[in-house]
Amino acid sequence: MQEETHRTVGDRDVIVINRRSFFGTLLALGTAGMGALLAVPVLRYVLYPLYARSRQSEWSAAGEMTEFASLTEPIRRTIAFSRRDGWREVLSSQSVYVTRGADGQLKVLSAICPHLGCSVSWQPGQGEFVCPCHGGRFAADGKHISGPPPRGMDSLPHEIQEGKLLVHFDYFRSNVPNREVLS
Ligand code: FES
């Protein structure tokens, strides 16, 4: 059955749409609209890991400020935090060192060696940080002294709230001269 007809009115070609054709078009438009509406949440779900991958939501408590008031050498602390990895919320813990910078201000260092990611530890007898993997050495404020690491230990954002030291743990690209935050 023909649903559109062409008529000539004067010198013009006129398309006449009958009722069945009109409702068919309306139905098609409605279906397309519903499809688009349903596709949005599906697309958001599928693409979520791409834009959420690097999100780390929280600040972690590293201790009471009173513990660091008379700091004379770096103190190791383990902090816990959660990170989003794709669709999953992953709980992690990492070691950090609370120390003082050259200016005397409090500083928090990641214990992850900026060379290839081994765990750096403070050696009180030597008065420096030493990495067990390739012998990288760092001063108490994290400055690079010797060995293969291409930069000093990575400092972490921190703040003080209600007498507590809060740290935002970041991961950094290893074995490059400048700090590059990964997440
Ligand atoms: S991983 Fe630390 S010096 Fe190589």
Which residues contact ligand 1 via a Cβ below 6 A?
Answer: 113, 115-116, 118, 131, 133-134, 136, 147-149
**Rounded distance from Cα 135 to ligand 1 centre (Å):** 6
146 Cα to the center of ligand 1, angstroms? 11
- According to the model, what pLDDT value does residue 48 have? 56
Question: Do 147 and 130 form a contact (C-beta atoms < 8 A)?
Answer: no
> Which amino acid is residue 113, in one-letter code?
C
* Token output for 101: 């910078």
Q: Token match 């010797």: residue?
A: 146
What's residue 111's pLDDT? 98
CA-wise closest residue to 183 among 160, 156, 162, 158: 156
pLDDT for the residue 51: 55
Instruction: Among 115, 123, 138, 144, say which to mutate for ligand 1: greatest number of ligand atoms within 8 Å of CB.
Output: 115
- The residue nearest atom 1 of ligand 1, judged by CA position, is 116
Task: State in Å: Cα 120 to ligand 1 middle.
Answer: 8
Q: Who contacts 128 (Cβ-Cβ below 8 Å, separation ≥6)?
A: 122, 137, 138, 139, 140, 145
Using the mean position of ligand 1's atoms as its centre, give its distance from the Cα of residue 93 in Å. Answer: 20
CA of 132 to the centre of ligand 1 (A): 7
Atom of ligand 1 minimally distant from the CA of 132: 2
Q: What is the pLDDT of residue 44?
A: 66
Nearest CA to ligand 1 atom 4: 134
pLDDT at 120: 98
125-131: Cβ within 8 A, 24+ apart: 127/73, 129/74, 129/97, 129/153
Would you state the structure tokens that stand for residue 110, as one six-digit string? 């990641």
Consecutive 10-residue averages of pLDDT for the chain (183 residues):
63 67 78 77 62 64 95 96 80 95 95 98 98 98 98 97 96 96 81
